[in-house]
């Protein structure tokens, strides 16, 4: 791969949405996209944190073109409101980065009783993409980037138990949500190509970083990660590089999965990431798509 982030030309006049833009990888992605002259819409649940993040970026980059719109991905009505607000202000979307995510072990659910990680990490992004796809120009520079995780490798979609209430594996729900992110990107790209669209959908994983996802871990696990992090994790800025590659590189074709190439894929140069055989199953991806349409009560026509 000959692509270099430093060689990206100005993207003036183009618009990007970054979900979860106020911290971690989302913040670094927003900072980089603004540096390339995108107008970046910071789609965030907590407006106070979003304003602080915007202020921090403007201190580094006074000419950054940023806008904040509230979005709670766990709440489908909030997703619909965000899409309406965006369409009222803008008539085009060039890059959609489905970055936001939660990692919890407490069995929380949204107000509809859906496990919070599946609701936030997958369903919210599925509906958001559905509602905004029509605004994307039909060219290969239009990108939909889904953030998956190495946690997808041992995961399954528990169609009979989406809330993962019958398993003792506390990481099953998170792994399921990240697997869903990957399989959604694959299925979306297949449908785009089948309909002769040039828009590209693909997935990435950031490797290992202290991006704020670990805040709800037990204290023992949290401090273990903190102690080991300098040796196994990389910075949020480095963790954002697979996303930026997927969003901006002319080398991508669609349907790929990129991530760090170093030890256990925790860090290193960006390249083609390893993925589970299960994640390649088109029958599962189709069933997930249909279930997601039912759960969002919205048909998704590409």
Q: Annotated catalytic sites, by residue?
A: 174
Residue 236 and residue 199: Cα distance in Å, rounded? 27
Closest-CA residue to 178 (of 218, 120, 233, 128): 120
Nearest by Cα to 240 from 65, 9, 36: 36
Please give, one letter per residue, the 3-state secondary structure of the chain.
CCCCHHHCCCCCCCEEEEECCCCHHHHHHHHHHHHCCCEEEEEECCHHHHHHHHHHHHHHCCCCEEEEEECCCCCHHHHHHHHHHHHHHCCCCCEEEECCCCCCCCCCECCCCCEHHHHHHHHHHHHHHHHHHHHCCCCCCCEEEEECCHHHHHCCCCCCCCCCCCCCCCCHHHHHHHHHHHHHHHHHHHHHHHCCCCCEEEEECCCCCCCCHHHHCCHHHHHHHHHHHHHHCCCHHHHCHHHHHHHHCCCCCCCCEEEECCHHHCCCCEEECCCCCHHHCHHHHHHHHHHHHHHHCCCCCC
Burial class for 104, CB neighbours closer than 10 Å (0-12, 13-18, 19+):
middle
In angstroms, the CA 88 to CA 82 distance is 10
């Amino acid at each position: 791969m000959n692509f270099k982030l430093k060689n990206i030309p100005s993207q003036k006049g183009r618009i990007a949405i970054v979900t979860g833009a106020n911290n971690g990888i989302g913040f670094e992605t927003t900072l980089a996209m603004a540096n390339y002259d995108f107008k970046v819409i910071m789609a965030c649940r907590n407006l106070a944190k979003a304003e602080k993040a915007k202020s921090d970026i403007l201190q580094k980059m006074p000419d950054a073109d940023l806008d904040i719109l509230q979005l709670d991905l766990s709440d489908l009505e909030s997703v619909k409101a965000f899409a309406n607000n965006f369409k009222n202000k803008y008539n085009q979307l060039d890059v959609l980065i489905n970055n936001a995510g939660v990692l919890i072990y407490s069995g929380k659910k949204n107000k509809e009783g859906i496990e919070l990680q599946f609701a936030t990490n997958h369903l919210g992004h599925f509906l958001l993409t559905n509602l905004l796809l029509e605004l994307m120009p039909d060219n290969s520079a239009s990108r939909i980037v889904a953030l998956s995780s190495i946690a997808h490798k041992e995961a399954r979609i528990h169609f009979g138990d989406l809330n993962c209430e019958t398993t003792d594996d506390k990481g099953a729900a998170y792994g399921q949500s990240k697997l869903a992110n990957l399989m959604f990107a694959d299925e979306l790209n297949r449908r785009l190509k089948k309909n002769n669209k040039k828009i590209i959908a693909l997935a990435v994983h950031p490797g290992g970083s202290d991006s704020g996802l670990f805040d709800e871990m037990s204290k023992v696990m949290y401090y273990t990660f903190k102690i080991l992090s300098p040796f196994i994790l990389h910075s949020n800025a480095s963790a954002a590089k697979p996303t930026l590659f997927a969003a901006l590189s002319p080398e991508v074709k669609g349907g790929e999965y990129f991530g760090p190439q170093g030890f256990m894929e925790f860090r290193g140069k960006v390249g083609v990431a390893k993925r589970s055989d299960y994640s390649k199953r088109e029958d599962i991806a189709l069933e997930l798509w249909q279930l997601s349409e039912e759960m969002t009560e919205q048909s998704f026509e590409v």
